[in-house]
Structures are given as structure tokens and as C-alpha cells.
């Protein structure tokens, strides 16, 4: 990466590791106009190399000048559980951790243990100390598929990605509780990105094998629901931002 320090963009380019739930991350990202000009370059769908069927997504997002990158992980179902012996440490919405923080290990509680689940976003400037834990987590996982956006193609902005992750989280109620925690979330968001931004080039590195709980709602229906919700919410937020901009000029 270039040695110069990138312009600070909260939730993307900063000295510490950002840890937020998806809705808080959207609020932070949408609150910074610079993030609308930071574009997703590559999406990687990972499966944790363990017996736990845990899947997550990595996004590489470039700064407006194309000289710096941010690494963003969207990890579904970071659990709050009822059992004290299995309690996970979950960041409060919108908090920013220290640079030494790393993503917590994934949990796999039973349905009875679940008191709530938070889809979590981690972000840091690529190449910084804050990003080390994110890079290590990905290096120890199996790559399932990637989406790469060719030069000159229409790419999702950080604003648009943040909104897609929110509506994917919101639509988890459409499918099975256990399946929704990782497999459903990662697959639905990945497939929605393919549909919404069709210029992306997909590469399949590893065939996906799912065991355990299967989501009862077909993936096509889930993607339909998420894409519809995304278009509605994104349009609303863009129009709201435009109205606020016009009012600020008066």
C-alpha cells in the first residue's frame, strides 16, 4: 500500500479496528459522504476451516483516490447466549475497538442457548496493525467463491454495501434460525451482490458442502426479498440525503 496516510473515513479508514453491528455500520458509513466514493473491488466468501458450518464475507474497498484499501469482514450471528460458560464478548453497536483487537472466535450454541444474535462488521485500513487479525482470520479459512469487479464496471459503494448488509440481516427471519446465522447470511448477501451488480466476475474456488440445518426458504426467494428491500431502502436513503443537502444550502 502507499505510504501516505489515507483520508480518515469512519468505519473504513481509521487507526483502530471498527466493530459494529450491521445497522450501526450503515449509520456510520452513510454519515460520511466520502464513503459514497469508496468502491468495493473484491468480495470473498469464506468457510471457517473447522467442523462448525460458519461462513463469512470479506470485502476489499478502495479509497476514492485508489491508493489505499480497507478490509471489511461481515460475520453473521455473533451470539449473545444465555449460558454463562459460553458467553461471547460482543461489541456494543457502533463501538470502535483498539488496534490490537481481533474478531472473536465463532460460537455454535444450540437453539436453546440463543438469546439474540448480532451480525457483525469489522473494518480497518489494509496493511495497518488494526487489520492484522482480519487477515489472519481469512488466511485460516477456506475460500468458496470470489466476486471481482473489472475496471470500468459498476461497483457497489461503501454506502450501498452497508445497506445491503442491513437488509440481509433484517431478512434473516425468513429462514431457519440456525441456518440464518452464517450459511444463509453469507450466501444471500453474495448472491444479491451478483444480481444487483451483474458486471462482477465470479470465480468458484471450492464447492460448498452444507451439513446440519438447511434453510427452508429457497435461495432464489431469499435473494429476491433482499434485492427488493435493498432497492427500496437505498432509494429512500439517497433521496433523504439529497433533501438534507438541499436544506443545508438554504
Which pTM value belongs to this model? 0.82
Question: In 31-176, which ranges are continuous DSSP H helix?
Answer: 132-139, 158-170
Which residue would you say has higher pLDDT here, 155 or 179?
155
Q: Beta-strand (E) ranges in 99-221? A: 114-125, 141-148, 201-204
| pLDDT tens-digit map of 49-79 | 765 668 999 999 999 999 999 999 999 875 4
* pLDDT average, residue stretch 153-182: 80
Which residue would you say has higher pLDDT here, 181 or 200?
200
Q: Who's near 48: CB < 8 A, 6+ residues apart?
A: 54, 55, 56, 106, 140, 141, 142
| pLDDT tens-digit map of 29-39 | 999 999 999 99
Sign (positive/negative) of CA torsion 89, 93, 99, 103? positive
- Please tell me the distance from the alpha carbon of residue 169 to that of residue 146, in angstroms, as a whole number: 21
Torsion of CA 230, 30, 170, 120, to 10 degrees: 130
| pLDDT tens-digit map of 88-115 | 333 443 444 433 344 544 433 333 333 4
Yes or no: say if 157 and 36 are a contact pair by the CB < 8 Å rule.
yes
Amino acid at each position: 500500500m502507499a505510504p501516505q496516510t489515507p483520508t480518515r473515513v469512519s468505519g473504513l479508514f481509521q487507526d483502530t479496528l471498527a466493530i459494529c453491528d450491521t445497522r450501526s455500520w450503515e449509520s456510520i458509513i452513510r454519515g460520511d459522504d466520502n464513503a459514497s466514493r469508496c468502491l468495493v473491488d473484491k468480495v470473498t466468501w469464506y468457510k471457517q476451516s473447522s467442523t462448525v458450518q460458519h461462513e463469512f464475507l470479506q470485502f476489499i474497498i478502495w479509497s476514492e483516490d485508489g491508493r489505499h484499501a480497507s478490509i471489511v469482514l461481515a460475520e453473521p450471528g455473533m451470539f449473545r447466549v444465555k449460558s454463562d460458560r459460553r458467553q461471547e464478548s460482543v461489541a456494543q453497536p457502533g463501538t470502535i475497538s483498539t488496534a490490537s483487537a481481533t474478531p472473536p472466535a465463532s460460537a455454535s450454541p444450540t437453539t436453546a442457548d440463543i438469546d439474540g444474535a448480532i451480525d457483525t462488521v469489522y473494518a480497518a485500513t489494509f496493511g495497518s496493525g488494526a487489520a492484522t487479525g482480519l487477515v489472519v482470520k481469512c488466511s485460516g479459512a477456506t475460500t468458496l467463491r470470489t466476486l471481482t469487479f473489472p475496471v470500468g464496471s459498476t461497483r457497489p459503494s461503501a454506502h450501498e454495501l452497508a445497506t445491503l448488509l442491513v437488509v440481509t440481516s433484517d431478512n434473516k427471519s425468513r429462514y431457519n434460525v440456525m441456518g440464518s446465522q452464517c450459511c444463509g447470511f453469507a450466501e444471500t448477501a453474495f448472491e444479491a451482490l451478483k444480481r444487483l451488480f451483474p458486471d462482477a466476475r465470479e470465480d468458484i474456488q471450492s464447492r460448498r458442502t452444507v451439513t446440519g440445518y438447511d434453510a427452508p426458504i429457497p435461495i432464489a426467494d431469499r435473494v429476491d426479498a433482499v434485492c427488493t428491500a435493498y432497492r427500496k431502502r437505498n432509494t429512500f436513503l439517497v433521496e433523504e440525503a439529497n433533501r438534507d443537502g438541499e436544506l443545508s444550502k438554504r
